[in-house]
Every structure is written in C-alpha cells, then in structure tokens.
Homo-oligomer: A and B are copies of this chain.
Amino acid sequence: MEQVASGLVRLTFLVQSVYAEVGRGCELTPTQAQMLCVLREGPKGMAELCGVLGVERSSLTGLVDRAERSGLVVRTPDPTDRRAVKVALTEAGDRAAREFHEQITSRLAALLDDLSPTEQVRFSRSLTRIVTAAGVPLAIGPH
C-alpha cells in the first residue's frame, strides 16, 4: 500500500515535469496546454470548459484572457445566446496544440520503454481501468 502510493505520487511528479517541459518547448504553460488540447475537439463555451478543466469560472476568465492575448484562442459571441461566448482555437493555437499533443504523446509513451511489451500492454490496460473507474475526463483527447 505504502509502495503503491509512493509509486503513484512519483509517477505523477514525473508526468507533470514532462508535461511542463514539453509545454515550455511550445511556449505553453501546463494549464494552457491542457486547455488547447480540450479545444481541439471544437469551440466550447466558458461554462463547458470549466467543467472539463475542473476550474471555477473566475479562474477561466483569466486563463482565456491570457491565451487570447497570446493569440492562441479567440472569444466569439454565441449567436443563439447573447450572454455566452464560444472559445475557439486560432490557427496558431491549433498549431501549438497539435505540436504539444504530438510531443507529449511520444514523450509519455517513452516512459514505458523499460517495460517488456507484455508489461507495457498490461500497464496500459490497468491505467485505463483505473482512470475510467474513477471517472476522469479526457483532457488530452484522442485525435
């Protein structure tokens, strides 16, 4: 139990540091990277984005502000609801998201290099089981 917990915490630090490092390479903060990855699915309203990112509305405003200032996203008015906005990737944002996604995917997969192919598959499967059982949203979406 002790073992597992320690391993999980250490793995988390490891993943976080890789995440941050790849982010820096793409000129993205970790939170920005996460947001851009989510937005690759398509434009989202602020509230919707809050849900996926697990963040309060007031936090998201600043997040989007900064990303917008950096030219990564744009706020467009929602034609069906004049209160609402849709946040969408710009060309540059899409490029950054694509690059980040590609790199993070390969860097993280490389962490399993020391495992045998069988172990890799088993590990990956267990991973999926654990996170789906706990109901964690995707965040680094496929595609």
- A50-66 vs B: 1/0 string, CB under 8 Å? 00001000000000000
Using Cβ atoms and an 8 Å threshold, which residues of chain B touch A126? 112, 115, 119, 122-123
For chain A residues 86-109, which have a beta carbon within 8 Å of chain B? 104-106, 108-109
B residues less than 8 Å from A112 (CB atoms): 4, 126, 130
Number of interface residues of A (CB under 8 A): 49
Is A42 located at the chain interface by the 8 A CB criterion? no
Which residue of B2, B13, B15, B105 contacts A2 across the interface (Cβ within 8 Å)?
B105
- A141: chain B residues within 8 A (beta carbon): 6
Q: How far is the CB of A85 from chain B (nearest CB, A)?
A: 25
